[in-house]
Amino acid sequence: MRFALLAALALTAIPAAAQTMEPGEWQFINTTTSPILPKPQTTTLTQCVSKEDAADPTRFTAQGPAAECEVKQVSRTAESYSWTISCPKQGMRGAGKARFGAGTVDTEMQMTLEGQGGEKMELNSVTKARHMGPCKTK
């Protein structure tokens, strides 16, 4: 359950960092690894990014598990964005970096989860995102 939360957090943190996303349909492929996982966990999410969301990516963090997390910008250039993230209620903190290309966003994030007994677990997340075209109407 806790790793499902971490995977969801990793996916929601990605767009929060994006400063140059194009509106339209995006596919996010996230791979999470940890010494305590038997194998890498991969999740794929396809999401319509509106013009408003592309202009203000912080709107992605106003929902779900990330709503209880604080994301702070560390550095920002035209090609990259780095951040720290703190989720006190979940006992997690970490840092990440996004790199932007034409219709792509690639991210890396390292998280540390502290258990109730004081044990620490490391989690690494890599996401490859690509713009797939206009949003599909339902």
- pLDDT (tens, 9 = 90+) of the chain, 138 residues, equals 444 444 445 544 544 444 567 899 999 999 999 998 899 999 999 999 888 877 665 555 444 555 578 888 888 887 888 888 888 888 889 999 988 888 998 989 999 988 778 888 999 999 999 999 999 875
Q: What gap in Å lies between CA 22 and CA 2, rounded to an integer? A: 32
Q: What gap in Å lies between CA 84 and CA 122, rounded to an integer? A: 15
Regarding pTM above 0.85, the answer is no
Contacts of 125 (CB under 8 A, 6+ apart): 6, 7, 10, 30, 31, 32, 33, 96, 107, 108, 109, 110, 111
The tokens describing 79, both together, are: 């090609």
Q: What gap in Å lies between CA 69 and CA 38, rounded to an integer? A: 27
